[in-house]
Amino acid sequence: MKLFSSDLNITEDVSLKAWNTLGLEARARYYLAACSDVQAIEAMERAHAAALPVLVLGGGSNILFVGDWQGLVLHVHTAGKKLLQETESEVLIEAAAGENWHALVMWAVSQGWGGIENLALIPGTVGAAPIQNIGAYGVELKDVLEQVCVWIAGEGIVWLKNEDCALGYRDSIFKQMARGDYLVLSIRLRLQKQKRPNLSYYALKQYFEEKGIVAPTIAEVAQAVIDIRRSKLPDPAQIGNAGSFFKNPVVERQQFERLRAQYPSMPFFEVDEQQVKIPAAWLIEQCGWKGKRRGAVGVHEHQALVLVHYGGGSGSELWQLAQDIQKDVLSRFGIALQPEVNVLGGD
């Protein structure tokens, strides 16, 4: 029996180099660029029935291939965004999983709808947003997410409410599911018409203080985030990278106090009374890794949280670099850094 029907337009032995922002070579046994939910779901169902591993690919901005993918790569190209409901104070919008996230943010901002302007320029597609519970500059997706439309193996298409998604720091219920057991189809967001800008993040406050802007609009906040991100993070079109490679670790207050006594200038963010978040970039920089290059891979000279691929290297080289950084941070600070990127293709 043939695994996939010919009308699905699935190709075999496809290079994924152009489909990951690190620009690393890897190959997919099967590849499908899905332009409709029907096409994507049929491919998922057939792959699931054959116990074939599935990788759902969006913008490829949060992936490290350390080997080839011995299964199906489902590249989601579904498109569409629309206004569902509108009141005097808020709107409900829906966007397809294949939509570019930043484009959605700028569309909302252009309409005067606030709530996601702090998430401007985050790479990737809409479908990845709830899986990661993307966040930046004091805002997370969970602050505005209303529902997620998702296909689940054995259940079909279901709508999950915000509270059903178990959204945490770069975490969600989807990360507890097997990779080929679900597919995000679309999301719904509730945005505000008279949104008060969130300027809780220090870099944003500083940006507007320097410009003498007391009450910025959501468009000005979006532009500020774009400017700040561009000043800190390298463009993948210029040098291969996956953005922030590691999560910022959250530690218990007792451990934090011990570290703070030893490193009084250590930056931190309060999570709650029991936990504190420490910037991974600071930990990496303290271990001397910032700006270091090892052959075709290295740590960015301006942002220690970003690992880069200069070209001609392999995923295993970059992963070895990441593991060496983890070892040094653990040895010096007793903190185990966790990757924010998905490491794929290994045994």
Under the banding of pLDDT at 50, 70 and 90, the label for residue 2 is low
Q: Is the dihedral of CA 211, 226, 307, 279 positive or negative?
A: positive
Beta carbons of 200 and 138 less than 8 angstroms apart: yes
- What is the CATH class of 240-344? alpha beta
The pLDDT of residue 18 is 96
Write down the pLDDT at residue 206: 96
Same fold, 6-76 and 240-344: no
Contacts of 303 (CB under 8 A, 6+ apart): 232, 233, 234, 281
- Average the pLDDT over 26-54 and give the result: 95
Q: Which of 25, 42, 317, 340 is catalytic?
A: 340
pLDDT value, residue 194? 86
Model confidence pLDDT, tens digit, residues 15-38:
999 999 999 999 999 999 999 999
* Tens digits of residue pLDDT in 319-335: 999 999 999 999 999 99
340 is annotated as an active-site residue: yes
Q: Output the six-digit token pair for 298.
A: 């290295």
**Is 179 among the catalytic positions?**
no
The fold for domain 6-76 equals 3.30.43
Look at residue 7 in the predicted model and tell me its pLDDT.
Answer: 73
Using the predicted structure, report yes or no on whether residue 346 has a pLDDT greater than 80: no
In sequence order, the 6+-apart residues with CB closer than 8 A to the CB of 222 are 105, 106, 109, 117, 118, 120
pTM score: 0.90
pLDDT tens per residue, range 256-298: 999 999 999 999 999 889 999 999 999 999 999 999 999 999 9
CATH number of 81-192: 3.30.465.10
To the query of whether residue 244 is one of the catalytic residues in this protein, the response is: yes
Q: Could you tell me the maximum CA-CA distance found in the chain, to the nearest angstrom?
A: 68
What pLDDT was estimated at residue 228? 95
pLDDT digits (tens, 9 = 90+) for 138-192: 999 999 999 999 999 999 999 999 999 999 988 999 999 988 899 999 999 999 9
User: Mean pLDDT for the chain?
Assistant: 95
Nearest to 120 by CA among 202, 208, 222, 218: 222
Q: Does residue 88 carry a pLDDT above 90?
A: yes
Sequence ranges of the domains in the chain: 6-76, 81-192, 240-344
Helices (H) then strands (E): counts for the chain: 8, 20
**Active-site residue among 46, 170, 188, 190?**
170
- Catalytic one among 61, 172, 244, 314? 244
Cβ contact 10:32 at 8 Å: yes
Judged against a pLDDT cut of 70, whether residue 347 lies above it is answered with no
| Res 233 pLDDT > 50 | yes
pLDDT at 280: 98
